[in-house]
Amino acid sequence: MDETEFDIRTAMAGSVRSRAGAWALVRGFAAYWGEPLGPDDGFADAELDAAERRLGLRLPAALREAYRLFGRRADLTSNHDVLLTPDELYVLDGALVYRAENQGCAHWGVLLDDVEREDPPTVMRPDLADTSRERWEPWEERLSTAAAVMAMTEKLLEDDELTDFVDSPDELPDGFLELPALGRGCRWYLGPDVLVSVVEDAWMTARARTPEALEALYEAVPGDWLGE
């Protein structure tokens, strides 16, 4: 794929239809908004097989595919929250945990009852002061969707000159195209050489393709931007 021809709107819409669509979104997104995926960006089958032997269970096909495709790409997995490496995967209260909030305030996983499904639903467990109230709560309907959303959100949270963060504005100005819904609590917008995510209507992250595009975003969306 020519990185200048990436149609993110079509790719996002296709990502919820199949695992192949989710991985096509990750590939296109990585190439267009950062660096193309390479053969060394994923974990080897031997490492995933070792994790299965240690855990005594089979990893869902979608999780194996995500690890093999981009599991070693920290810019897509671990800028804020953290994708566990295969040797860090563990089971907690009936779920296989694969991702953790950066301060341990939440964890994401797959219920063991669903772990043999190829693309199972995911769950989230908040870390509460009263641990007796902690429960696994529904998250994304497909693990592949959760992985694609992870790649996009983590890239927009990268400590990089082309990314930034601000409290969410009441609305975005004309010229920003709303993209298909993807990810719990996320709304996505495309502007001139800039991708924006509004999370829970509370804060906004952005990634530009050029410094000039980021400066234009500052002018279009005034606010207390972290890096301005």
Residue-level pLDDT at 95? 97
Portions of the chain given CATH number 3.30.310:
159-220
Q: Contact at 8 Å (CB) between 148 and 204?
A: no
Q: How far apart are the first and last CA of the chain?
A: 34
For CATH 3.40.1580, the residue range(s) in the chain are 3-149
Backbone phi, then psi, for 169, in 5-degree steps?
A: -75, 165
Rounded Cα distance between 2 and 94, Å, is 43
Q: What pLDDT digit, counting tens, does each position of 85-109 carry?
A: 999 999 999 999 999 998 878 999 9
CA dist list (Å): 94 to 16, 109, 111, 129, 140 = 26, 10, 6, 20, 17
What are the 10-residue block averages of pLDDT along the chain, 228 residues in total?
74 96 98 96 98 98 98 97 98 97 90 98 85 87 98 96 91 91 95 94 94 96 88
Four-CA torsion 101, 151, 90, 80, nearest 10 degrees:
-20
- Alpha-carbon span 103 to 97, nearest angstrom: 15
Q: Strand, helix or coil at 218? A: helix
CATH 3.30.530 at 159-220, yes or no: no
The domain defined by 3-149 folds into: SMI1/KNR4-like (3.40.1580)
Residue 144 to residue 121: CA distance in whole angstroms? 9
